[in-house]
Amino acid sequence: MDFSKLPKIRDEDKESTFGYVHGVSGPVVTACDMAGAAMYELVRVGHSELVGEIIRLEGDMATIQVYEETSGVSVGDPVLRTGKPLSVELGPGIMGAIFDGIQRPLSDISSQTQSIYIPRGVNVSALSRDIKWEFIPSKNLRVGSHITGGDIYGIVNENSLIKHKIMLPPRNRGSVTYIAPPGNYDASDVVLELEF
């Protein structure tokens, strides 16, 4: 998951996206004013914006499993709802990296912080946006072709052993309006556009 693209507490002004810490017990935090939250929703806890996941909902109270050290989190601190589940990012570069349990790249964090420890609330993209990968579109795919979820529309070689088959996500479908030509692209480049 690209934590750097998630909303930040300082940038949010809608009260409906905030709850407040009600209690802390080790890695488990309870929060109030969480009406509208969903089970397994990713939240940012406290002023350090620690990564957490809602594991229980009861009325407007949420029980949150925090995946970082909670020292310093106190009653009344903000809890920001993201509206997204905790998930991982898939793509080229994933096989050559070492991650912690919530897909934060340890070598990138170490080079940024010059430390062997992970600072609280750190935001680093799981996959590098700087490395370019060779994209080879499927030979039978052209503008106007109709594709549905699960169809392979290209291949990216991560190394001599691993070929990533790039697939259209489930429940997506449409006619191709753009397919990138063979070439080198980074993880943020658009290589396929569809019209439903």
Domains of the chain, start order: 15-85 (2.40.30.20), 88-128 (no CATH), 133-195 (2.40.50.100)
pLDDT the model gives residue 7: 62
Q: What is the pLDDT of residues 111-133, one digit of tens each?
A: 989 988 888 888 888 888 889 99
Through-space distance between the first and last CA atoms of the chain, rounded to whole angstroms = 27
pLDDT the model gives residue 71: 93
Q: pTM here?
A: 0.77
Burial tier of 65 (Cβ tally within 10 Å: 0-12, 13-18, 19+): middle
Separation CA 27–CA 186 (nearest Å): 36
pLDDT the model gives residue 90: 87
**CA 107 remoteness from chain centre:** 18
E strands of 34-132, at which residues?
41-45, 50-58, 61-66, 78-85
Half-sphere CA count of 162, side-chain side, radius 13 A: 11
pLDDT the model gives residue 84: 93
Which residues of the chain have a pLDDT value below 70?
1-16
Quick one: tokens of 169? 């996500």
pLDDT the model gives residue 121: 85
